[in-house]
């Protein structure tokens, strides 16, 4: 993944100001940074550490402890392809292949234009409608390879 976001110093300063530079609010501050960039850019973590007078190692340990935080760039849209048994036997693998081919990324990666992040999950509780693809929390059932392109195109 080559695409990187350059954090704006002023933006980080204004996030820190919201919390009066209180190091005890580190998690909330990181949540706000992630809301801004969709992930936690390294440069932003450095600025947060400096602004709070907290060692960078401590900022990193909090950022990597919580699963909700991502240290890698994330796309604007999160695609989850269900590979649970029920979806798998109905052809989820082919749907995943088609998405990977269409976006030119593999599961766990993000497109260079930061439009999509692709992940797989094991059962999202809608087995009867499989194969299921969930984009930004919205379910599409009975997916086939030919439905992939129009579905992706509906997410700008």
Helices 26-37 and 56-65: crossing angle in degrees, nearest 10, is 70
CA proximity to 96, closest of 107, 112, 104, 84: 107
Q: Report the distance separating Cα 76 and Cα 117, nearest Å.
A: 8
Q: Taking the complex as a whole, how short is the minimal distance between the CB of residue 121 and ligand FES, in angstroms?
A: 8
Using CA atoms in the order 65, 96, 91, 139, what is the torsion angle rounded to 10 degrees? 70
Residue nearer to ligand FES on the CB measure, 49 or 130: 130
135 binds ligand FES (CB under 6 A): no
List the one residue from 36, 130, 143, 148 that touches ligand FES (CB under 6 A): 130
Residue nearer to ligand FES on the CB measure, 54 or 86: 86
127 binds ligand FES (CB under 6 A): yes
149-153: long-range contacts at Cβ-Cβ below 8 A with a sequence spacing of 24 or more?
149/102, 152/79, 152/99, 152/102, 152/103, 152/116
List the one residue from 5, 27, 71, 86 that touches ligand FES (CB under 6 A): 86
79 binds ligand FES (CB under 6 A): no
The total number of residues shown for the chain amounts to: 156
Residue nearer to ligand FES on the CB measure, 87 or 105: 87
List the one residue from 23, 27, 62, 123 that touches ligand FES (CB under 6 A): 123
Binding mask 11-40 for ligand FES (x = CB under 6 A): ------------------------------
Q: Are 100 and 107 in contact (CB under 8 A)?
A: yes
Binding residues (CB under 6 A) for ligand FES: these are: 82, 84-87, 123-127, 130, 132
């Amino acid at each position: 993944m080559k695409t990187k976001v350059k954090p704006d110093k002023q933006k980080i300063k204004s996030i820190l100001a919201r919390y009066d530079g209180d190091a005890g609010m580190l998690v909330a501050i990181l949540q706000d940074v992630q809301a801004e960039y969709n992930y936690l850019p390294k440069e932003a973590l450095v600025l947060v550490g400096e602004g709070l007078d907290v060692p960078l190692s401590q900022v990193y340990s909090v950022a990597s402890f919580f699963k909700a935080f991502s240290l890698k760039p994330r796309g604007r849209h999160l695609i989850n392809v269900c590979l649970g048994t029920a979806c798998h036997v109905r052809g989820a693998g082919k749907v995943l292949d088609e998405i990977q081919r269409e976006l030119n990324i593999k599961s766990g990666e993000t497109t260079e234009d930061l439009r999509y992040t692709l992940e797989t999950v094991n059962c999202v509780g809608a087995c009867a409608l499989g194969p299921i693809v969930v984009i930004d929390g919205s379910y599409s059932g009975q997916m086939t390879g030919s439905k992939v392109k129009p579905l992706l195109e509906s997410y700008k």
